[in-house]
Structure 1
Amino acid sequence: MFEQSNTDFAVTPNFHYSELIHSYTAVRLGLDNTPDAATKQHLIDSCKNLWQPMRKLLDKPISVNCGYRSPAVNKAVGGAKNSAHLYGYAIDFVCPSFGTPKQVAQFLATQLPKQGIKFDQIIMEFGAWVHIAWKAPDGRQRGQILTAKKVGGKTQYVAGVQ
C-alpha cells in the first residue's frame, strides 16, 4: 500500500494537503497517488486562489470527494484523459449544509464572477457533486458553467446548471 500523504500541512485555513490528494480508489487498489512537485504546487495555488475563496463564500464546511488523481487513479475511475484532476487544478466536492450540488453550483456560478474570482469550470456532475477547476490543463481559465448527465451510458455536457 502506498502512503497517500507526504507530510500533511494546512494549505489554507479550511484545507489540508492530505484531503487534496486522498483517494479511496487509490487506497482500495494500492495505487500511488502522490503528485510530483509541479502538481503539488498547482494544488496549493488552486486552493489559495479558488477553493479557499469559494469555501469562504459558501461559509459552510465542504467535503472533498476527489482532488488530485495520478494517471493510474484517473484511469481506474474512468476520468477524462486530460482531466484537470491530473494536474492538481480540480476538486469534486459536496457542501450538504449549504444545499444540494445544484444549489451550490448555481450559487458559485453567480457569486464567483461577482467577486472577480476566476475559474476554469464549475460542473454540476450527475446531480451528485460539484466539480470546480481553477485552470484547464493548458492554463486557461474559461469560466465554463456546465452540467454533466449520463445519456445512453455516455456523459454529455450541457451549458449552465440544470
Structure 2
Amino acid sequence: MAQRMHLRLSPEVMAKFEDYSPEERIRAEQCQLREVKVLSDKSAIVTFAFKVDVYYCNASGNLHGGAQSSIFDMCTSIALQAIGKKDFWLNGGVTRVITVNCLRPAPEGEDLLLECEVVQMGRNLALTQGVLKREKDGVIVSTCEHHKAAVPTKPGWKL
C-alpha cells in the first residue's frame, strides 16, 4: 500500500478520540478514506482506497491472501467508528469470526477500493462485511464477513 495502516494512535489523539466526528475518527487511523455513508444509527458504509504495495505481495507478485485478511480485519473494524457514538466501540472490539474469500489476483501496483459495511452493531456484537474491488473496473478481488465482539480496553493499554 502506498501508505501503511497503523492502528496505534498518539496519546494526544486518544485523549480526544471519543469527541471526534465519525470521519475524524477514521482519518485519525491514517487510512486513505474515500467516503463515509451513515445509513442508520447502527449501520454505515466506509470506502477506502489504496495501491497494492510490494510489501503485501506473495512470491507471484500479487496481494497475499493473509495480507487481505489483515486489511479486512483492520478496515472493517475502523468502519465501526462511522457510527460515532460516545463511549461506543472505540477500540474496535475483537474478532469472533472472520471469513475471507479470495476470488482473483491483485498485482503489485493495482489501485483498489475497499468498501466496508457495518451491517449490524449492537452493544456487544457487530457484523461487518467487506468487498475489495479493482478501482479501474469494479471487478471484485475478494470478500469478507467479520463478526466482532465489544470488549473493554485493558487498563493501562495504549492504542
**What is the TM-score normalised by the length of structure 1?**
0.30
Which structure ranks higher in relative contact order (CA pairs < 8 Å, sequence separation ≥ 6)? 2
Q: Which structure has more strand as a fraction of its residues?
A: 2
